[in-house]
């Protein structure tokens, strides 16, 4: 992971996406799988979002959820989340390349309609 300067991020506003292994806005930053298990959450997942100067704080484009089994550990949970990351990140990139998503005043538009 690399934290980019505010100036760099602002220059590319609306043109950079990131995938994060949590259901943002929960669990920004590192060690998300461990933190989810410690909190005894029943679901976890991943989020694709536009990059903003706030770490993992940009507007969310797409999320995927996974259930957490009673015997789940960090490795098994990470594997579940990775499977969803491999599915949703290419989808979000495809939509961006096709002009179907864009950032407008901190709001994600999909086919010109706000994503809620």
User: Which residues form the catalytic set?
Assistant: 20
Question: How many Å apart are CA 27 and CA 38, to the nearest integer?
Answer: 12
Question: How many Å apart are CA 46 and CA 101, to the nearest integer?
Answer: 18
CB 87 within 8 A of CB 97: no
Q: Which residues are 67's β-sheet partners?
A: 43
* Closest by CA position to 33, among listed 41, 103, 55, 91: 41
* Closest by CA position to 55, among listed 109, 2, 108: 2
């Amino acid at each position: 992971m690399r934290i980019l300067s505010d100036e760099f991020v602002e220059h590319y506003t609306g043109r950079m996406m990131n995938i994060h292994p949590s259901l943002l806005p929960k669990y920004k930053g590192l060690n998300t799988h461990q933190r989810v298990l410690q909190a005894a959450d029943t679901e976890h997942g991943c989020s694709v979002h536009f990059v903003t100067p706030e770490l993992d704080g940009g507007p969310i484009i797409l999320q995927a959820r996974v259930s957490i089994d009673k015997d789940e550990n960090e490795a098994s949970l990470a594997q579940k989340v990775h499977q969803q990351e491999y599915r949703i990140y290419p989808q979000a990139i495809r939509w961006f390349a096709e002009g179907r998503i864009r950032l407008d005043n901190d709001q994600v538009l999909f086919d010109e309609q706000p994503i809620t």
